[in-house]
Copies of this chain bind each other. A is one copy, B any other.
Amino acid sequence: MKPAKISILAPGLIGGSVALAAAQAFPTTSLFIWSRKKESLAPVQKALPQAQTGTDLAMAAGSDLVLLGAPASALGQLVHSLLPHLNAKTLVTDVASVKMPVEREVAPILQGRARWIGSHPMAGSEDSGFSAARADLFRGAAIILTPTSSTPSTTTREAEVFWQTLGGRVLQMPAEEHDRSVARISHLPHAVAAALVRAAGKSDLALVGPGYRDTTRIAAGPSALWAEILLGNREEVLAGLQELRGGLQKLETALEKADATALAKFLDEAAQIRRNLPAS
């Protein structure tokens, strides 16, 4: 895959990192970076002097690939405005953290007008915006593609090669399965990190060590975006919260009974799983 033109709509943490990584991985490809706000484009233009930037979606015309970096709530409107500038060969992908709502909303709009596949790069940080973007953000990161039963395999393959060229480790699964999994490995940890921060008092914070820092790091992330993500996946997040609650109940019972064996078993089972996690 050697795209002649890539357009990136909304250069936030993910979109901006795609722009920086694509500029390195596809040095002869034309890059167009769009933002709704002109002032967001100045730092992008500075970091990528060879790229085109602008607030007019018409400049995306003729793209082989359009990456939608906007949050899920903005995608419907954005894709509608983008329609006149797409052709049937354009590959469109988004990077939203919850895939079923995007599949329901975006796929019908693009049906017969462009090719679409959902992407979710498992990369990022508690920071947001282009200032947090990094060209190596996707190196070694899991990138989940969510083809539907009607997605042509050539579309999936093209998206796979694109992300692999940016350094990603590509996996495929249906959107529903994706949403179930990320509820447990991304959305639930975020929710719990926030609850942990709230459970500690201000005076406790002078004492914190590396354990607390790491456990709660993601709680500093952009709240509006995370509220949208949790709501977009609320059934699975609620199911994950139920499972977590069951675990915490087990722990509480072991503590109340001062049952050292049960407690060690609970912690040990978790330690075994966590130690077997492949290095990133």
Contact = CB atoms under 8 A, between A and B. Distances in A.
A238 B256 contact: yes
A139 B255 CA distance: 34
Identical subunits present? 2
B216 A189 contact: yes
A191 interface: yes
Nearest to A264: B227
A22 interface: no
A280 interface: yes
Interface in A178-219: 178, 181-182, 184-186, 188-219
A141 B210 CA distance: 9
A275 interface: yes
A141 B214 CA distance: 14
Interface in A119-167: 122-126, 141-142, 144
Contact of A207 (B126, B171, B211): B171
A240 interface: yes
Interface of A is mostly: helix
Given A122-B207, A255-B238, A198 B269 contact: yes
A185 B204 contact: yes
Interface of A: 122-126, 141-142, 144, 171, 178, 181-182, 184-186, 188-224, 226-228, 230-231, 234, 237-238, 240-241, 243-245, 247-248, 251-252, 255-256, 258, 260, 263-264, 266-271, 273-275, 277-278, 280
